Chains A and B, each alone.
Chain A
Amino acid sequence: MDFALTEEQQMFRDLFRDFAEKEVAPLAEHNDRTEEPPIALLKRAASQGFMGATLPEQYGGAGMDFLTYCLLVEALARHCLATSAALGIHTMLSAMTILDAGTETQKQTYLPRLAGGELGTFALTEPEAGSDAGALQTRAVRDDGHFRLDGVKSWVTNGGPASVHVVLALTDPGAQRHGLSAFIVDAKTPGLTVGHREPTLGMRSLDIRTLYFDDCRVAADNLLGELNQGWPLVLRAFNRVRLSLAAAALGAAEGALALGVKFAVERRQFGAVIAEKQAIQNYVADCAIEIEALRHMVEHTAWLADTGQEYGPQASMAKYFGARVAHETANKMLQVHGGYGFSDEYAISRVYRDVRALRLLGGTDEMQRYAVAHDIFQDQGLKIQP
């Protein structure tokens, strides 16, 4: 076994940290307050190769492995979870799905654009289909060299500023998710309308939209992967984004812990800094222990992915555990801040709001645990349903 990062990974980590401290940290509060997606920041990230981090160099990517990519997301999330999520969904769900299933022409057409900083989405969720992908209703009907898309997609991250959408629609409605196909839809396609921007508790700069497809004609060439083979693409995309969210949770938790520790050594009550109190020490110790465990889960899961092994179950576990750790850490570190923790003047209240959605997006806590339990019981010959 070898737990050390390679020299190249260490070099990248230093680069990511430097970028995050210089470029991301100063904007985090601004992003939250204005709720504007940090487009200029993401362009700068693209110029460093971060928006196509895991794409091969031939498509304009940086050719990083998953472990290196996780170091990137961790570094960004430490200062601004919303920025890391915009990049993570763009990279892991949108760009990597095109890499996964795209034709050579599709890859050459779209991946350099995405790596160059044009934003991508992954439009799966619908108003009646959140955790339950079997309830999807958006249709794609073949029509003379085209597919006509009709339906509504909700909670589409990067929906407003994106120029490329990966859209999942039913091509065989009777077969439910096994009749699902993926399409690459250019944002300018007639019949596609960007709707309601979700105002959210946290990660307020994430541009989350409802997308309306109304007789939206997509060229047959834009079918991504095989007809009716969308669901396996979704499952692989979920694995990637869960790993990415786990790394983001790790970064957010580390950032929260650092804020609490800094406050604890400065704030004096009862004649001493509050770091001298056992209650505070226990909060800090519990968080540090959980963060350490999470780090190893993230790195191990990334290593499985990089070495071509099955990593789906581990990604679910790491995402679930990470979301809990990030939430707990932000909660405890807010408590360390006392009344200051409730004030917008201190970053911890934003972090506390931001991390809450980690327990919902990319599969809720409940769905991750279902996925884990599903695999355990499957080994016993029992197939459980949600």
Chain B
Amino acid sequence: MDFTFSPQHVALRQMLREFCEQELAPRAKEVDRTGLQDPAILRWMGELGMFGIPFSQEYGGAGAGEMGYCILMEELNRACPSTATIIGAHIGIAAMSLYLDGSPELKRRYMPDLCAGRTIGAFGLTEPGAGSDAAGIKLRATLEGDSYFLDGQKMWITNGPIADVIMVLAVTDPALGARGGATCFVVETDWPGFSAGKPEKKMGLHGSPTSLLNFDEVRVPKENVIGQVGMGFVTFMKTLDIGRVSLGAATLGGASVALDASLRWVKARSQFGRPIAHMQSIQFKLADMATEIEALRALVYRTAWLVDSGRPFVREAGMCKLLGSETASRCIDRALQIHGALGVSRDFHLERGWRDARIAEIFEGTNEIQRIVIASELLQEIGVRIHP
């Protein structure tokens, strides 16, 4: 066994840490306030190769694997969770679905621009009536001649208002439903009939625009089918499985930056004649945070190794998302408590971190769904099949 990072991964983290601390962190408050990340920053990050970290160099990626991608997400989320979410949705689910199952021709057409950040991707799964129950999607794709016509709605789509390319799951055979009757497509957002709604007003992640998508008879050429017709649900579920690992890595960043802030504060803040670091109520919170973060770090990077080494990882990926989101929420909540009144002040970054972190317990499969998936795998091994 070897738990050290490769020299390339160490160098990658160092480069990212510097960039994130110098360029992203100082802007994060403004991004939250205005709800916008500067497109020039995103372009710059694209030029630095951050939009294609896990993908092979053949398609314009950096070839750093899931391990490199997890390092990216951990570092981004330390500095600016909104920006991390833009890039996470772009790489982890949008580009990833194409990368996993797209034909070489389709990948050559879209991946290089996605990897360079010249185009921004989104992943269209959720609908008003299909959240946790993703198989309940209704958006229709009807074949006429050489093209499909997409008709329906998607909602809560991260990057919806800024995306150039959207990977969309649509029902091609209503008789079969999502399993066997759903297909995924690459849709360019300047095609006629497509429109994105206004960004939703949310509690956190203000700089990560989320919106409704309308498809009004959008014509999509047959070549833009990702993988096989009827196999789209499988592609999307596989994509989400991998995405849960990097989401775990992102939550690791959120949790660890909260611990770092707490360590600075408990030394600087005195009450009752000494730094609050001398209070056991504080010490135990710090110890719990550090312990949970260490467990999460081990789980996330071990799971990344499972992915990169071609081993089964689905159960562990669900655990990364589940443990990660709850660890981050707990750690940031403890950090807020340690900071007292400053913790709830919008003059300071912790309340933003607290608001931003909460959605990780919900999106990309609620934690209830993760528990169902994990339990379902455990029970399947002893011959018990469960239903949500």
Q: Which residues of A contact B (CB under 8 A)?
A: 125, 128-132, 134-135, 154-155, 198-202, 268-271, 277, 279-280, 334-335, 338-339, 341-345, 349, 352-353, 356-357, 359-361, 364-366, 369-370, 385-386
Q: Which residues of B contact A135 (CB under 8 A)?
A: 270-273
A200 in contact with B345 given A343-B200, A353-B203 (CB within 8 Å): yes
A260 vs chain B, min Cβ distance (A):
13
Interface residues in chain B, defined as those with a beta carbon under 8 Å from any beta carbon in chain A: 126, 129, 131-133, 136, 156, 200-204, 270-273, 279, 281-282, 336-337, 340-341, 343-347, 351, 354-355, 358-359, 361-363, 366-368, 371, 387-388
Determine how close the nearest CB of chain A comes to the CB of B358; give it in whole angstroms: 7
Residues A131 and B271 in contact in the complex (CB < 8 Å), given A269-B132, A352-B203 = yes
- Among A270, A338, A352, max chain B CB count under 10 A is at A338
B362 CB, min distance to chain A CBs, angstroms: 6
With contact pairs A349-B203, A360-B340 given, residues A134 and B131 touching in the complex (Cβ less than 8 Å):
no
A342 CA / B199 CA spacing, docked (Å): 13
- Given pairs A135-B272, A339-B359, A344-B203, 17 additional interface contacts (CB within 8 A): A135-B270, A135-B271, A198-B347, A199-B345, A199-B347, A269-B131, A270-B133, A279-B368, A338-B131, A338-B132, A339-B131, A343-B201, A344-B200, A349-B202, A360-B337, A370-B281, A386-B271
A201 to B202, alpha carbons, bound, how many Å? 13
| Cβ-defined partner of A356 (8 Å) among B270, B282, B344 | B344
Interface of B is mostly: mixed
Q: Are B126's CB and A339's CB within 8 A?
A: yes
Q: Once bound together, how far apart are the Cα atoms of A129 and B347, in whole Å?
A: 19
Give the Cβ gap from A181 to chain B, nearest Cβ, in Å: 22
| Nearest opposing residue in chain B for A199, CB measure | B346
Contacts of B336 in A (CB 8 A): 356
Residues of A close to B344: CB separation below 8 A: 200-202, 356-357, 360
Instruction: Select one of A131, A155, A200, A279 contacting B346, CB under 8 A.
Output: A200
Cα(A128)–Cα(B336), bound, Å: 18
Residue from the list A132, A202, A360 in contact with B341, Cβ < 8 A: A360
A342 and B362: CB pair below 8 A? yes
- Given contacts A199-B347, A201-B346, are A386 and B156 in contact (CB under 8 A)? no
**Which residues does chain B contribute within 8 Å of A357, judged by CB atoms?**
344
* Pick from A154, A342, A365: contact of B359, CB under 8 Å: A342
Q: Which residues of B contact A271 (CB under 8 A)?
A: 133
A385: which B residues are within 8 A, CB to CB?
272
A to B CB contacts below 8 Å, 26 in the list: A125-B341, A128-B270, A132-B271, A132-B272, A134-B273, A135-B270, A198-B341, A198-B345, A198-B347, A199-B345, A201-B343, A279-B368, A338-B366, A339-B359, A339-B363, A342-B359, A343-B200, A343-B201, A344-B202, A349-B203, A359-B337, A360-B343, A360-B344, A364-B340, A366-B282, A386-B279
